[in-house]
Amino acid sequence: TYGPCLYIEYVVTDQNGQIILNQITGTIMVTEVQTIPGYSIDENTRTQTVVVNPDDTQTLTFTNTPIGG
């Protein structure tokens, strides 16, 4: 169970499919809400939770599968 949400931000990936967030700490829940046309979001990786400590670098990987492939 998670406590109240203190901050919500919607961000879009760059041309390499990456997002860099700076100066955040604590338990972070990240959810992929949209993918590119022709792909579906893998429900097993759609929402991920990570603990970010000061000066940490964390990497999350989201999987998208070609529709019909």
Q: pLDDT digits over 41-53, tens only?
A: 999 999 999 999 9
pLDDT band with cut points at 50, 70 and 90 for residue 66: very high
Structure tokens belonging to residue 6: 């203190």
The SS3 of residue 41 is strand
Buried b (16+ CB within 10 A) or exposed e, 18-50: eeeeeeeeeeeebebeebeeeeebeeeeeeeee
Q: Would you say residue 1 has pLDDT above 50?
A: no
pLDDT of residue 41: 94
**pLDDT tens digit sequence for 2-50:** 556 666 778 888 888 888 888 888 888 999 999 989 999 999 999 999 9
* One-letter identity of residue 15: Q
